[in-house]
Chain A
């Protein structure tokens, strides 16, 4: 048995992921205080249907089942959630922390039977690249949200350019999510990893090198983006509830 603190990392991951899942689930089901002025919480963006001014197609759709709790976030969160759930980094992390498969390197595990990702259900993790395509779309939507967060309406309703703390919060969110999404292992494969002679495709080679650079810190990007997307929601929620004041920088 290892005498070092091998349990510390899986425990930290368990606490970190559990906290995020608990908070994001709670926030997704709230259905209110998810926007403030030009800001829209990343948990609710894009808002296809909803009551905020950011909604694309108007209020709650009539086809939404009456027995189901309504929140605009429920329409979209499955996509970024699926991207993280099937991410190669998170897979390795939660197999250890939540499923003890194994608990930590050389520590062993509580079960004898093992199928890994060779058969159902975990063979479904191979869908990751499709969630990547969706995550790319989300990056575009969230970048547009940052653009909108640069325009603040005065009392007469006229919008003027400005930068507030919330603008920076949303901009950092896109940067962190971009670092995480564009450093994805599947993306690395698709842009160039699939080729054996990258030198014959110089543009793809450059892209591959950039993606590889992000990929080397994939774990760091994964955690920074996870924390910041949660904080972005919290910031907008607090501003919307008038608990925090959104300070003007410019």
Chain B
């Protein structure tokens, strides 16, 4: 007889909804998304769920599994306690469209507001630049981001305090870090970070780092270094004095 497990899945839209229980047959190597697909195929054809690659690279199937933001396609069932129902619900930081699908368009609007890459004049007459790999290593870590928005979902500033208008969230601090620390970039985004983008709202819980499926060290390598750059620019009197003496 095949082993089964209980899944408690959120059904509903932004206004109304409830958890409903489904039983799915489970086999070796199954992930949460497999179970959701099985339930969708056999028991709830109208269950809405966003997915694409099933390989942890498209960032579409973000949801909350047992209360933690995860990619459903990368969460293996043998890592979960199956003696109790597995809870699957949509990301809480964004408005629900239907069932497990949320409206993440706020993220794309935020991204548009971040100052674009502004390279220095080309290094060579053919219009190309020269970079050293060591200088770009730091930025390449940030480029691994798949925009699953799990970090945005887990961030309590967005999730619990709904500061979407004042804080851009960890994903876009990582994005800004990738631009700001780029060896060719000449733009200054520190004032935006301090004011409009509210980097000061981050209180370093490291939850974003914990949930990142690409293992980007968001807090230590992106947020804190940018916080330190903001301190250099706005809060450190010695740095200000040095800038006056050595403009």
Contact = CB atoms under 8 A, between A and B. Distances in A.
B189 interface: no
A193 B220 CA distance: 11
Contact of A215 (B87, B135, B163, B220): B220
B117 interface: no
B183 interface: yes
B30 to A, nearest CB: 19
- Residue in B154, B160, B210, B225 whose Cβ sees the most chain A Cβ within 10 Å: B160
Given A106-B69, A114-B157, A197 B132 contact: yes
Interface in A69-94: 88-89, 91-92
B203 A106 contact: no
A105 B205 contact: yes
A91 B203 contact: yes
Given A106-B68, A114-B161, A92 B211 contact: no
A199 B132 CA distance: 7
A191 to B, nearest CB: 11
B205 A196 contact: no
A105 B202 contact: no
Given A4-B66, A92-B204, A129-B236, A109 B160 contact: yes
- Residue in B64, B84, B182, B225 whose Cβ sees the most chain A Cβ within 10 Å: B225
Contact of B203 (A95, A112, A188): A95
- Residue in B69, B160, B201, B228 whose Cβ sees the most chain A Cβ within 10 Å: B228
A66 interface: no
Contacts of A248: none
A102 interface: yes
A143 interface: no
A196 B135 CA distance: 7
A112 B224 contact: no
A22 interface: no
Contact of A198 (B66, B134, B154, B163): B134
Contacts of B157: 114, 116
A205 interface: yes
A114 B159 CA distance: 12
B232 interface: yes
A132 B210 CA distance: 27
Interface residues of A, number: 43
Interface stretch (A119-127, A147-155, A229-237): A119-127
B143 to A, nearest CB: 15
A105 B201 contact: no
B164 interface: no
Interface of B: 64, 66-69, 81, 84, 87, 92, 132, 134-135, 154, 156-157, 159-161, 163, 166, 181-183, 185, 198, 200-207, 210-211, 219-220, 224-225, 227-229, 231-232, 235-236
Interface of A: 1-4, 88-89, 91-92, 95-96, 101-102, 105-109, 112, 114-119, 122-123, 126-127, 129, 185-186, 188-189, 193-194, 196-199, 205, 215-216, 218
18 contacts: A1-B67, A2-B67, A88-B224, A91-B203, A95-B203, A101-B156, A106-B92, A106-B207, A107-B67, A116-B157, A126-B231, A129-B236, A185-B220, A185-B225, A193-B225, A194-B228, A197-B132, A218-B220
